[in-house]
Structure 1
Amino acid sequence: MASTKSVCVRAGTPADSAAITGLQEAGFGMRYGSDESEFRGGTFPVERSLVAVEGDRIVGHTVDRTMTITVPGDRTVRACGVSGVAVAPTHRRRGILRELYRAQHARTEADGLPLTVFTASEGTIYGRFGYEVAVLATSIAIDTRRVEFRSTTPDPGGVTLETLADSVARIREIYQRWQTVTAGAQVRPDAEWDLLFADVERHRQGATTLFVLLHADGYALYRRSRRENRDIASVRELRALTCDAHAALWRVLLGLDLVDTVEAEIAEDDPLGYLLTDPRTVRLTHRGDTLWARVMDVPAALTARTYRADLDTVVAVHDPFREAGGNFALRIRDGIAECEPTTRSPILAFDINVLGGLYFGAHRASTFAAAHRITVEDPAALRAFDAAFTTDRAPQLGWAF
Structure 2
Amino acid sequence: MASTKSVTIRSATAADSAAIIDLQETGFGMRLGADEAALKGELFPVERSLVAVDGDRIVGHTVDRTMTVTVPGERSVRACGVSGVAVAPTHRRRGILRELYTAQHARTEADELPLTIFTASEGTIYGRFGYDTAIVADTVGIDPRRAEFRPTTPDPGGVSMATLTEAAPHIRDIYQRWQRVVPGAQVRPEAKWELFFADIERQRGGGTSLFAVVHPDGYALYRRHYRDNRSALAVWEFRALTTDAHAALWRVLLGMDLVDTVEAEIAADDPLRYLLTDPRAVRVIRHGDTLWARLMDVPAALTARTYRHDVDTVLSVHDPFRAAGGTFALRVRDGIAECEPTDRRAELTGDIAVLGALYFGAHRARDLAAGHRIRVENPAALRDLDAAFTTDRAPELGWFF
TM-score, length of structure 2 as denominator length: 0.98
Report how far residue 378 of structure 1 moved.
2.1
2:342 corresponds in structure 1 to 342
Report how far residue 380 of structure 1 moved.
1.2
User: How many angstroms apart in 2 are the aligned matches of 1:337 and 1:56?
Assistant: 50
1:221 corresponds in structure 2 to 221
The answer to whether 1:112 aligns with 2:97 is no
User: How many angstroms apart in 2 are the aligned matches of 1:230 and 1:356?
Assistant: 41
CA deviation string 1:321-343 (max 9, x = no partner): 00000010111110000001111
User: How many angstroms apart in 1 are the aligned matches of 2:91 and 2:384?
Assistant: 47
Q: How does 1:2-401 map to 2 (within 5 A)?
A: 4-401=4-401
Aligned-partner residue type, residue 40 of structure 2: R
- SS across alignment from 1:82: strand
The answer to whether the Cα contact below 8 Å between 1:366 and 1:386 also exists between their aligned partners in 2 is: yes
- SS across alignment from 1:104: helix
- SS across alignment from 2:231: strand
Unaligned runs of 5+ in 2: none
Report how far residue 72 of structure 1 moved.
0.3
The answer to whether the Cα contact below 8 Å between 1:140 and 1:282 also exists between their aligned partners in 2 is: yes
User: How many angstroms apart in 2 are the aligned matches of 1:19 and 1:228?
Assistant: 38
Aligned-partner residue type, residue 326 of structure 1: G
Structure 1 runs, 4 residues or longer, greater than 4 Å off = none
User: How many angstroms apart in 2 are the aligned matches of 1:37 and 1:28?
Assistant: 14
- SS across alignment from 2:236: strand
User: How many angstroms apart in 2 are the aligned matches of 1:38 and 1:400?
Assistant: 17
Larger displacement relative to structure 2 (88-97 or 390-399): 390-399
Aligned-partner residue type, residue 271 of structure 1: P
Report how far residue 390 of structure 1 moved.
1.1
User: How many angstroms apart in 1 are the aligned matches of 2:144 and 2:40?
Assistant: 38
The answer to whether the Cα contact below 8 Å between 1:7 and 1:52 also exists between their aligned partners in 2 is: yes
CA deviation string 1:358-379 (max 9, x = no partner): 0000000000100111011221
Unaligned runs of 5+ in 1: none
User: How many angstroms apart in 2 are the aligned matches of 1:383 and 1:228?
Assistant: 51
Aligned-partner residue type, residue 389 of structure 1: F
The answer to whether the Cα contact below 8 Å between 1:146 and 1:281 also exists between their aligned partners in 2 is: yes
TM-score, length of structure 1 as denominator length: 0.98
Report how far residue 159 of structure 1 moved.
0.6
User: How many angstroms apart in 2 are the aligned matches of 1:48 and 1:167?
Assistant: 33
Aligned-partner residue type, residue 285 of structure 1: I
The answer to whether the Cα contact below 8 Å between 2:311 and 2:381 also exists between their aligned partners in 1 is: no
The answer to whether the Cα contact below 8 Å between 1:4 and 1:99 also exists between their aligned partners in 2 is: no
Aligned-partner residue type, residue 355 of structure 2: L
Report how far residue 35 of structure 1 moved.
3.7
Report how far residue 53 of structure 1 moved.
0.4
User: How many angstroms apart in 2 are the aligned matches of 1:34 and 1:236?
Assistant: 23
User: How many angstroms apart in 1 are the aligned matches of 2:221 and 2:41?
Assistant: 24
Larger displacement relative to structure 2 (338-347 or 27-36): 27-36
User: How many angstroms apart in 1 are the aligned matches of 2:25 and 2:65?
Assistant: 20
The answer to whether the Cα contact below 8 Å between 2:164 and 2:212 also exists between their aligned partners in 1 is: yes
Aligned-partner residue type, residue 109 of structure 2: E
Report how far residue 4 of structure 1 moved.
4.6
User: How many angstroms apart in 1 are the aligned matches of 2:392 and 2:80?
Assistant: 25
User: How many angstroms apart in 1 are the aligned matches of 2:329 and 2:141?
Assistant: 46
User: How many angstroms apart in 1 are the aligned matches of 2:75 and 2:215?
Assistant: 26
User: How many angstroms apart in 2 are the aligned matches of 1:304 and 1:243?
Assistant: 28
Question: RMSD across aligned C-alpha pairs, in angstroms?
Answer: 0.9
Report how far residue 123 of structure 1 moved.
0.2
Aligned-partner residue type, residue 321 of structure 1: F
User: How many angstroms apart in 2 are the aligned matches of 1:292 and 1:40?
Assistant: 21
User: How many angstroms apart in 2 are the aligned matches of 1:40 and 1:173?
Assistant: 23
| Distance change >3 Å, CA 318–CA 37, structure 1 → 2 | closer
User: How many angstroms apart in 2 are the aligned matches of 1:47 and 1:4?
Assistant: 25
Aligned-partner residue type, residue 107 of structure 1: R
In the alignment of these two chains, the number of paired residues is 399
Report how far residue 381 of structure 1 moved.
1.4
CA deviation string 1:50-108 (max 9, x = no partner): 00001110000000000000000000000000000000000000000000000000000
The answer to whether the Cα contact below 8 Å between 1:308 and 1:335 also exists between their aligned partners in 2 is: yes
- SS across alignment from 1:354: helix
User: How many angstroms apart in 2 are the aligned matches of 1:146 and 1:320?
Assistant: 49
Aligned-partner residue type, residue 196 of structure 2: L
Larger displacement relative to structure 2 (279-288 or 27-36): 27-36
* Identical amino acids, percent of aligned pairs: 74
User: How many angstroms apart in 1 are the aligned matches of 2:371 and 2:205?
Assistant: 39
User: How many angstroms apart in 2 are the aligned matches of 1:44 and 1:399?
Assistant: 14
User: How many angstroms apart in 2 are the aligned matches of 1:192 and 1:40?
Assistant: 8
Report how far residue 127 of structure 1 moved.
0.2
